[in-house]
């Protein structure tokens, strides 16, 4: 524990903030999402296929849109995408606790998913940028904060959902609202495209260069197995 704290303190403030940010992201996410299906099928009485649709839309809006989120981060900078993602998830989680119609639930679910597609690539790119030669150490520490959120999020969610799922939604939305404010106030601007030539490249040209990297494409396909 002391070694982890010492490692955390050895990094610059932006990396420290992003590590805490990831802890909060997973805490807020996992206090709600594991109990969403039960709420939809139980409290709202949705059919199983409707529950699957709502959850599937969220998964597609997040995992299926990482390329879009990463491209926007390269173009607009990391901070705006991190902030936008946190704000959007605040709205999405809040909406999940307020609506009961299927279209509104799908919209809220899509918002929470696309929020992840916005901030996840940007957070990781920012950490890699600022950690420099200590990237491996930074991402090892990042994983500790990541897993800590996964551990305690469901426990907190269990206690809150035992009272009322809408309360869980409100607390989860509050977590992301606090994260939004912290990123706006304390996170410096960073961007991946530092040269005029890079910024002049079209999005299609950048995507083609990615697809031309056969090793990366094969690695990406191999990683699909972790989601199957």
Q: Which two tokens stand for residue 149?
A: 């959120």
What 3-state class would DSSP assign to 129? helix
Distance of CA 194 to the CA centre of its chain: 24
- In this predicted structure, what is the pLDDT of residue 222? 80
Residue whose C-alpha is closest to residue 172's, from 17, 26, 32, 5: 32
CA distance 37 to 200: 45
The phi and psi torsions of 108 (rounded to 5 degrees) equal: -65, -40
- In this predicted structure, what is the pLDDT of residue 197? 52
Taking only the tens place, the pLDDT of each residue in 161-199 is 999 999 999 999 999 999 999 999 999 988 765 555 555
The phi and psi torsions of 63 (rounded to 5 degrees) equal: -65, -30
DSSP letters spanning 159-187: HHHHH-HHHHHHHHHHHHHHHHHHHHHHP
Taking only the tens place, the pLDDT of each residue in 9-46 is 888 899 999 999 999 999 999 999 999 999 999 999 99
- Residue pair 58/113 in contact (Cβ under 8 Å)? The answer is yes
CA distance 191 to 81: 10
Q: Average pLDDT over the chain, rounded to whole?
A: 90
Predicted confidence (pLDDT) at residue 113 exceeds the cutoff of 90: yes
DSSP 25: H
CA distance 198 to 201: 5
Hey, which of 65-69, 134-138, 199-203 has the most confident mean pLDDT? 134-138
What SS3 string covers 92-123? HHHHHCCCCCHHHHHHHHHHHHHHHHHHHHHH
Predicted confidence (pLDDT) at residue 218 exceeds the cutoff of 90: no
- Residue pair 28/176 in contact (Cβ under 8 Å)? The answer is yes
Taking only the tens place, the pLDDT of each residue in 92-110 is 999 999 999 999 999 999 9
**Sign of the alpha-carbon dihedral angle for 96, 31, 148, 174:** positive
């Amino acid at each position: 524990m002391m070694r982890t704290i010492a490692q955390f303190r050895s990094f610059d403030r932006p990396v420290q903030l992003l590590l805490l940010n990831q802890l909060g992201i997973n805490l807020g996410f996992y206090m709600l999402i594991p109990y969403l299906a039960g709420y939809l099928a139980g409290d709202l009485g949705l059919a199983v296929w409707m529950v699957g649709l709502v959850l599937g839309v969220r998964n597609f809006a997040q995992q299926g849109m990482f390329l879009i989120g990463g491209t926007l981060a390269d173009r607009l900078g990391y901070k705006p995408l991190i902030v936008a993602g946190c704000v959007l998830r605040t709205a999405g989680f809040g909406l999940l606790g307020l609506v009961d119609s299927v279209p509104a639930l799908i919209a809220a679910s899509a918002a929470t998913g696309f929020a992840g597609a916005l901030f996840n690539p940007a957070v990781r790119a920012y950490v890699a940028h600022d950690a420099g030669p200590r990237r491996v150490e930074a991402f090892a520490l990042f994983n500790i904060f990541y897993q800590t959120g996964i551990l305690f999020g469901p426990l907190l969610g269990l206690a809150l959902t035992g009272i009322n799922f809408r309360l869980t939604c409100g607390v989860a939305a509050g977590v992301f609202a606090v994260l939004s404010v912290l990123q706006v106030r304390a996170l410096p601007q960073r961007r991946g495209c530092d040269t005029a030539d890079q910024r002049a490249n079209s999005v299609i040209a950048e995507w083609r260069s990615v697809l031309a990297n056969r090793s990366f494409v094969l690695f990406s396909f191999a990683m699909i197995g972790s989601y199957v």
